[in-house]
A and B are shown apart, each in its own frame.
Chain A
Amino acid sequence: MSDSESKHAPNRAIPESLSSLYQEVILDHYRRPRNKGPLEGATHSITMNNPLCGDVIELQLEVSGDRIDRARFEGRGCSISQAAASMMTRELEGRSLDEALELAGKFTQLMHGERGLSEDADLGDLRALAGVARFPVRIKCALLGFNCLEELLGAEGAAGPRDPAGGGA
């Protein structure tokens, strides 16, 4: 198809709001996800989906004591949900369960427009998702991975590891 075919005057400038959403680092995590694939020796595992759009994340953790040694994910869905899960797994490794839940809380606040957190180094690459806050219908995409984490650890607090089989949704 050639441009001359189009009678509609093309206006292909990329709106600023969009470029703030689709940052390069997000697309990079989407196309080259980190920590994707099954985790052998997982102690915690959960699958959650977003019934409205069909996005799916399976989160697997290997926890010893109260520390997350490794985190991996499987999933299908939009760039925001998959990139957020990829970024999350990187930030989880080495954290205590309490620290992991604290990170989930911070990220949730970032998604709800807490601009100050977009400078918080603790969030790592996740800061690139700050722009999602301006797209209310996409916030649930970004939160799917952390929803898995909170479901795995949150219900019983960070005190003790749950049934290794995890609670599947």
Chain B
Amino acid sequence: MTTTDVAASPAPLDVGRIREDFPILNQRVHGRPLVYLDSAASSQKPERVIEAVSRYYRHDHANVHRGVHALSVRATDAYEEARATVAAHIGAGDASEVVFVRGTTEAINLVASAWGPSALSEGDEILLTKMEHHSNLVPWQLLADRTGAILRFADVTPEGELDLEDLERLLGPRTRMVAVTHVSNTLGVVNPVERIAGLSHDVGALCLVDGAQAAPHLPIDVEELGCDFYAFSGHKMCGPTGIGVLWGRTELLAAMPPYQGGGEMIASVRLEGSTWAAVPHKFEAGTPHIAGAVGLGEAIRYLDDVGLDRIHAHEASLTTYAIERLDAIDGLRIYGPRHGRTGVLSFEYGDIHAHDLATILDHQGIAIRAGHHCNQPLMEHLGVTATARASLYLYNTRDEIDALIDGLRVAAEMFGGVGDAPRA
């Protein structure tokens, strides 16, 4: 799916109305109205989510799956209802396929730790891409160290897209796992994960999709995508921090040993050994982040009420506008493709380093990210050490893009002009 050809245009978002849902946006930073362009790092929260978490703690909190008393029953119901909300939102066959974790990073670590050691032998291959976030790279490096498996990396084209031919070339009889990001957190490019899942299965490999940058922006249907694992974080999609989701196929989750041991995840415990609870609880040792799950459930209801198709259309139009305006600035270079992308805009502005840009913009109330975006191998591939990144969400406006453009002019003025970008 692309951001540029939205078929039947849904009713446009009333962004002014949306912004009222996000109390944090109504403030001044360094004396200027806050312009929050860092949602790819973490999104802001609507009142409804803040209220749901608060209401849970005020009225319903106790430990889950433990007590027979009323509060424990209510807390358990709220937690399991959140699981059902997530399952329905991503088209999971059954709520038991939804494992609550701390976030995308933990979800991927869970698969690498629990699935990997028994599934891999020396010389088996894990296929990644050169655009993976460190969280979809380092867990596999650790697993390769433990098992003697080999990591392979599909290339990224000069335009900033995944080189699908290279990926196909690297698939082989030893490939056991293909782990790929749905949307790049640096390039914004949307990868054809449905096709990649099919190609993976053709060689008998599993396919894990890192959905951290996709789930906040695109409707997700895991059955349609055809992947085997899908991981995402709550805090990037209007939910609380510290809660995320691993979706996995029932038979795979059932066959995997536990990830951590403790309470909640057992069926029976004896001193000499224990038996495990059924999925998903087998993977949820200890008291979970109940309030986080409740908040994530509410965040998903909020996004569904607004409509991900409308959010997507709004972001697509805003992204097109932002690219037009940024492209018109001399010396500014945007990374990633012009089409088939989300509103993650990484750029470089002449010889003004990304950190200097971020400081100068911050003093005008504009929040962007600067650095390697936990994407060092990709940055090396692009020949840069750091980029500035503005990332858009449902609450951003054209006026805010204009503020960014004005802010960049201030940076140029401050530096007495813009020199050539240094190449790494």
- Asked if B325 lies at the interface with its beta carbon under 8 angstroms from chain A, I say yes
* Segment among B16-24, B145-153, B351-359 that sits at the interface with chain A: B351-359
- Asked if A10 lies at the interface with its beta carbon under 8 angstroms from chain B, I say yes
Residues of A in contact with B (beta carbons under 8 Å apart):
1, 5-8, 10-12, 14-15, 17-19, 21-22, 24, 27, 31, 52-56, 76-80, 135, 138, 141
Beta-carbon nearest neighbor of A77 in chain B? B353
A-side contacts of B359, CB under 8 Å:
18, 21, 135, 138
* Segment among B96-104, B257-265, B410-418 that sits at the interface with chain A: B410-418
Question: CA of A54 to CA of B376 in the docked complex: distance in angstroms?
Answer: 9
4 closest A-B pairs by CB = A8-B402, A78-B355, A78-B353, A1-B328
B-side contacts of A27, CB under 8 Å:
415-416
Instruction: Take A53-B371, A54-B371, A80-B356 as given contacts and tell me if A8 and B419 are in contact as well, using a CB distance cutoff of 8 Å.
Output: no
Shortest Cβ distance from B362 into chain A, in angstroms? 9
9 contacts between A and B (CB under 8 A): A1-B328, A5-B325, A7-B398, A8-B406, A21-B359, A78-B354, A78-B356, A80-B356, A135-B359
A-side contacts of B363, CB under 8 Å:
15, 17-18
Shortest Cβ distance from A111 into chain B, in angstroms? 15
B385, A15: Cβ atoms closer than 8 Å? no
B379, A14: Cβ atoms closer than 8 Å? no
Question: CA of A3 to CA of B353 in the docked complex: distance in angstroms?
Answer: 24
Question: CA of A141 to CA of B355 in the docked complex: distance in angstroms?
Answer: 10
A15, B355: Cβ atoms closer than 8 Å? no
A-side contacts of B370, CB under 8 Å:
53
B416, A18: Cβ atoms closer than 8 Å? no
Instruction: Take A1-B325, A17-B363, A18-B363 as given contacts and tell me if A53 and B414 are in contact as well, using a CB distance cutoff of 8 Å.
Output: no
Shortest Cβ distance from B33 into chain A, in angstroms? 10
A-side contacts of B360, CB under 8 Å:
18, 22
CB contact between A15 and one of B354, B364, B413 (< 8 Å): that residue: B364
A6, B356: Cβ atoms closer than 8 Å? no
Question: CA of A76 to CA of B322 in the docked complex: distance in angstroms?
Answer: 28
Shortest Cβ distance from B150 into chain A, in angstroms? 26
Beta-carbon nearest neighbor of A76 in chain B? B385
Beta-carbon nearest neighbor of B422 in chain A? A76
B405, A6: Cβ atoms closer than 8 Å? yes
A14, B371: Cβ atoms closer than 8 Å? no
CB contact between A12 and one of B328, B329, B352, B410 (< 8 Å): that residue: B410
New A-B pairs, 9, CB < 8 Å, besides A1-B325, A54-B372: A5-B325, A11-B364, A12-B406, A31-B419, A54-B376, A55-B385, A56-B385, A78-B353, A78-B386
